[in-house]
Chains A and B, each alone.
Chain A
Amino acid sequence: MKAIARAWDRFFFSRFDPYSLGPLRISIGLLWLALLFFLYFNWHRFYGADGMGGKVDASLWQDPWSLFHLTDGVFDVIVWWWIGVAAGVSFTVGLFTRTMTIVIWLILGSMLHREILLAGAEELVLRMAMWWCIFMPLGRSMSVDEWWRKKRLKGRPDPRPLPMIWATRMLQVNVALVYLFSMPMKLTTDWAWLNGDAFFFAIINDHWAKWPWPEMFYQKWMSMIATYSAILVEFSFAFLVWTRWRASMVLAMWGFHLALATMLDNVAFFSLSMAVTYWAFIPPETSRRWVAFLLAVVRARPTRGQLSADDVITNPATT
């Protein structure tokens, strides 16, 4: 019993370096802004008082748990779009991070509860992620909040202890469970997942497919490879992401979702929303390496009219 309690304590209540939460916050923020941009053109049609989910149609039951309902007749629903944009920018740069997290979570919930028929899987994933983000120290890495705090400390060490990991763990567990729960559902609901035809049915559907050569998947072996690869990578992720192969599994899942977004239509936002949550799994030292590599790539690119480091060394005039 004591061993279980110790393991529980270590898993949920250990202190951790929140560096990876910076890329997590920035990715979620950028995705949220992109989603808002795509929704802008239909914002009134979808969420307006007289729109598809509008309260004007009082004869039909509607979920009351939406801020949009509360402000019908007070101000136009587009104001919520602009609040979402402002919150998204502020969240991305890490300014008033926790407050902005709550604002985005509320707007996501309001969108979903305004008209559930308009729900995209990306909103469901983001709302789930944002719920746990509310409790996470998202502002402690790569943020204006942190920069401002350091400035106020004037070089003195930060008196705060490292944050506890429990909320980040909840997001990790929730993401892993998405794959763990969906797998038995797949294998017991549709025989195509068992006999390997699942990818064939996905790739020929005119709502989903954008792969220009669906005939390739008329071959059983092609569909089988794709179907069983999807099962393997999704199911193994739920387990192996807790082991030392964590970073490799995240890279594999990023590749998997990139492939899905390339081959299937209308799943790009869903794939991206799953992909951004994987940052929560990346150990801080790995994140630091990846971010340092990215920064080095950006900085190493010589701009027009400037000499690169190599030019300086080989230029006889300077040696």
Chain B
Amino acid sequence: MQLAGKLLLSAFILFNMLVWAWRHTPAWWDRIYWGKVDQHLAPEQAAAVRSVPAALNWYAHKVGLDNKWEMYSSLYRGDWTIIAVGIDANGKQVLLPEPLQTPRTWFESAVVDFREPKYQIHLTRWPDQAERYTRYLLRRYPSHNGVPIRDVVLNLRFRPYVESTYVAARTGSHFAGVEWETRFYPPISPVSSASASGESQ
């Protein structure tokens, strides 16, 4: 291969290495770096500097190098599940027939629902995105037994673990409490059928 071709490819390789490094800089580094940028540069210069990582992120996002690999770096301290409940026009609560909250066959549990736990994990990580799910549920289940569903709420059921293996071995259980706690989730208003159908848009 010609030298020019190798130089071009080398530039591409180095650019990708820069992207990998940038995507994985720790939070403390970002704080120090951007603090220095804002402290020492004029606003327009700081904006120009900030456009570089924006370009890196754009490229990483488009080609698929944007994931920050954490690999279970932070582990859950409790069992939890999100329960989607519809509220019909009479104010009655209805358990929506979604996976993970209604009886399933073996095939459904093992094959069909394989993505559901991951989806729920992401819902708990980005609660501001959960509204999209509640809107989907309102479209999917407009009525129950002929009665219109007016609202959908998500409840987070949570049961905390003990703090360590030492406590689990001593008490013979990995749960800290007997009861499940139910919390309203996410911390936004319930989505009503009016807003889901686009009347408020």
> Which residues of B have CB within 8 Å of A130?
64
Alpha-carbon distance between A186 and B24 when the two chains are bound, in angstroms: 13
Residue B52 at the chain A interface, CB threshold 8 Å:
no
Q: Within the complex, what minimum Cβ distance (angstroms) separates B107 from chain A? A: 9
Contact B13 A54 (CB under 8 A): no
The 0/1 profile, CB within 8 Å of A marked 1, for residues 78-94 of chain B is: 01100000000000000
The 0/1 profile, CB within 8 Å of A marked 1, for residues 109-146 of chain B is: 00110110111111100100101110110010000000
Residue B169 at the chain A interface, CB threshold 8 Å:
yes
The 0/1 profile, CB within 8 Å of A marked 1, for residues 182-196 of chain B is: 000000000000011
Residues of chain A from 226 to 248 with CB closer than 8 A to chain B in the complex: 234
Contact A59 B201 (CB under 8 A): yes
Band of interface residues on B: 35 or more
Alpha-carbon distance between A173 and B65 when the two chains are bound, in angstroms: 13
Alpha-carbon distance between A120 and B80 when the two chains are bound, in angstroms: 19
Contact B198 A59 (CB under 8 A): yes
Most A C-beta atoms less than 10 A away, residue of B112, B165, B198: B165
Contact B123 A182 (CB under 8 A): no
Contact A186 B62 (CB under 8 A): no
In-complex Cβ contact of B1 among A105, A127, A164, A207 (8 A): A164
> Which residues of A have CB within 8 Å of B122?
116-119
Contact B131 A192 (CB under 8 A): no
Among B31-39, B40-48, B66-74, B147-155, the one that faces the other chain is B66-74
> Which residues of B have CB within 8 Å of A52?
119, 132-133, 136
> Which residues of A have CB within 8 Å of B1?
13, 164
Contact A118 B69 (CB under 8 A): no
Residue A189 at the chain B interface, CB threshold 8 Å:
yes
Known: A65-B61, A174-B20. A117 touches B133 (CB 8 A): yes
Contact B139 A50 (CB under 8 A): yes
Known: A128-B64, A128-B67. A193 touches B73 (CB 8 A): yes
Among A80-88, A151-159, A215-223, the one that faces the other chain is A215-223
In-complex Cβ contact of B70 among A65, A185, A192, A220 (8 A): A185
Alpha-carbon distance between A9 and B200 when the two chains are bound, in angstroms: 60
Contact A200 B165 (CB under 8 A): yes
Q: Within the complex, what minimum Cβ distance (angstroms) separates A194 from chain B? A: 12
> Which residues of A have CB within 8 Å of B16?
170
Residue B166 at the chain A interface, CB threshold 8 Å:
yes
A-B contact count (CB 8 A): 168
Residues of chain B from 1 to 23 with CB closer than 8 A to chain A in the complex: 1, 6, 9-10, 13, 16-17, 20
Alpha-carbon distance between A84 and B131 when the two chains are bound, in angstroms: 30
> Which residues of B have CB within 8 Å of A164?
1
In-complex Cβ contact of B165 among A58, A121, A197, A266 (8 A): A197
Alpha-carbon distance between A265 and B114 when the two chains are bound, in angstroms: 9
Contact B118 A12 (CB under 8 A): no
Residue A67 at the chain B interface, CB threshold 8 Å:
no
> Which residues of B have CB within 8 Å of A115?
132
Q: Within the complex, what minimum Cβ distance (angstroms) separates A253 from chain B? A: 13
Band of interface residues on A: 35 or more
Alpha-carbon distance between A130 and B65 when the two chains are bound, in angstroms: 11
Residue B102 at the chain A interface, CB threshold 8 Å:
no
> Which residues of A have CB within 8 Å of B166?
220
Residue A39 at the chain B interface, CB threshold 8 Å:
yes
Alpha-carbon distance between A214 and B175 when the two chains are bound, in angstroms: 12
> Which residues of B have CB within 8 Å of A53?
132
Alpha-carbon distance between A127 and B121 when the two chains are bound, in angstroms: 21
Known: A50-B139, A65-B62, A204-B161. A39 touches B115 (CB 8 A): yes
> Which residues of B have CB within 8 Å of A120?
115, 118
Alpha-carbon distance between A193 and B117 when the two chains are bound, in angstroms: 23
Residues of chain A from 148 to 191 with CB closer than 8 A to chain B in the complex: 164, 166, 170, 173-174, 177-179, 181-182, 184-186, 188-190
Q: What residues make up the interface of A, taking CB atoms closer than 8 Å to B?
A: 8-9, 12-13, 38-39, 41-42, 46, 50-54, 56-60, 65, 105, 108-109, 112, 115-121, 124, 127-128, 130-131, 164, 166, 170, 173-174, 177-179, 181-182, 184-186, 188-190, 192-193, 195-198, 200-202, 204-208, 214-215, 217-220, 223, 234, 265-266, 269
Q: List 27 A-B contacts (CB under 8 A).
A: A38-B111, A42-B112, A46-B115, A65-B62, A112-B64, A116-B122, A116-B129, A131-B63, A166-B13, A170-B16, A174-B20, A177-B20, A177-B24, A181-B20, A181-B68, A185-B26, A188-B26, A189-B70, A190-B73, A192-B75, A200-B174, A202-B72, A206-B79, A207-B76, A207-B79, A218-B168, A219-B165
Q: What residues make up the interface of B, taking CB atoms closer than 8 Å to A?
A: 1, 6, 9-10, 13, 16-17, 20, 24, 26, 61-65, 67-77, 79-80, 111-112, 114-115, 117-123, 126, 129, 131-133, 135-136, 139, 161, 164-166, 168-169, 172, 174, 195-196, 198, 200-201
